[in-house]
Amino acid sequence: MEALPMIGGEGPNSYAKNSSYQKEGASTVLGAVKEAILKDSDLGRLSSGHPFRIADLGCSVGPNTFDAVDAIIEAMKLKLGNNNDDDAPPEFHVFFNDLPSNDFNTLLRSPRLMEGCGYFAAAVPGSCHGRLFPKSSLHFVQSFYTLHWLSRVPEAVEDENSPAWNKGHIFAENARAEVMEAFSAQFVADMERFLRAREDELVPGALMALVFPYGRRDHNTIRAESVMINSLFGLLELTLQDMVAMGKVDQHKVDAFNFPLHLPSPETVEKAVERNGSFDVEEMKVFVNSRRPGVAFDAGVQSKQIRAVTEKMITKQFGEEILDEIFERHRVKVEEVAQVSMEKDGIKSLFVLLKRKPN
C-alpha cells in the first residue's frame, strides 16, 4: 500500500505535471456531476445550518482534485442561489484523502488553497477502503481514478503453485482467465469494504461520484478495453521482458511483480452496490474522452503519465538505479507502437453517481 502513491513534488516526472489523462477524463464527467447537484432535491436541505462537507478520496497532490472540488462548490452555490430562500450560504469544508505516504506537503502548499479559495481544507491520511470519517458526517464524496487500484495484489497471483500465478506478466490484462478472476475477486472485496465505510460516513441523501477507467463490457470479458492500460502498461511489460533477455533485470523479480490494478465492468460495480444495499444508482454512464484536435501525440508525455503513477512500485521491486533506463526504453516502444491505438480510440471512463438511501 505504501508504494502506491503517485510521484510527489512538482518536478518533471511528478504526478502534478503528468496527470493530463486524469484531468481530461475528470473534466469530461464534471458536467454530469454539476447537473446532478443542481437537480438533486436533498442537497439544499442537507446544507442548512452547518458546513457542507466534501471528501475527495484518492486526491494525490493536485491540481486535478482542486478542479473537481471547485466544480462541486460552484454547483452548490448556484443551487442554493436558485432556491431563493433567506438562508445564508453554507460554509464548505473539504477533506483531501490519500494514503499516509502521499505528498500532502505539495498538496497543502498549493496556491489554490490560500485564503480566498472559498472553503476550509484538511488532509486526511488513510486508505479509502476503510473508515476515515465520523458517522453521518459527509454530504458529497468524490473518488476519481482511484478505486481501480486494489488494496493488495491477490495472493494466488504470486503463488507459484496456483493456476493464477501470473508468471512473466505485471498486470492482469494480458494474462489467463484465472489471473483475471483473482484480480476481479480482490476488486469486489475492496469495493464492498469501500461501500461499507461510506455507508457509515455519508448522511442520508448525500451523493457520491465515482470515476473508473473503463474496463470491460461484462465480468466474463478477460481483456480490458482501456487503451491507456493495454497499450501503455502492456508496453511497460514488454520493456521489462526485453531487459530480462538482455540480463539487465532478473526474471524472478518480474515473475514476482504485479501492479495491484483491476478495471471493472459496469456490471461488477452495479452488483457491488446492490449487495451493499445502502445506495441507489442515480446514473451510470460511459464517457469517451477523444484526443483533442490539434494536440500532437507525444510518446514522452504518454510514458511519463505511466511513470508518475508507477515509479514508486517499480523502484521498490527493481531498484532506483535502473529506473531511467526502463522508462526511456518504454518511451521508445510507445513511439513505435502506441500512437495508432491511442489515436484510433478515445479514452473511456465509467462514471457512477450514487445516492445514500434513508436509514
Phi-psi category of 178—alpha, beta or left, where left has phi over 0 and alpha has psi -120 to 50? Answer: alpha
Q: Which grid cell is 351?
A: 462514471
Q: Within 10 Å of residue 12's Cβ, how many Cβ atoms?
A: 9
**pLDDT per residue as tens digits for the range 109-146:** 999 998 778 999 999 999 999 999 999 999 999 999 99
Across 62-186, the runs of DSSP E, i.e. the strands, are: 92-98, 120-125, 138-144
**pLDDT per residue as tens digits for the range 74-97:** 999 988 875 545 566 689 999 999
Phi-psi category of 42—alpha, beta or left, where left has phi over 0 and alpha has psi -120 to 50? Answer: alpha
Contact 190, 147 (CB under 8 A): yes
Three-class SS state of 135:
coil
Model's pTM, two decimal places? 0.91
**pLDDT per residue as tens digits for the range 152-189:** 999 999 999 999 999 989 988 767 889 999 999 999 99
Contact 331, 299 (CB under 8 A): yes
User: What is the Cα–Cα distance from 44 to 291, expressed in whole angstroms?
Assistant: 37
Q: Which grid cell is 355?
A: 445516492
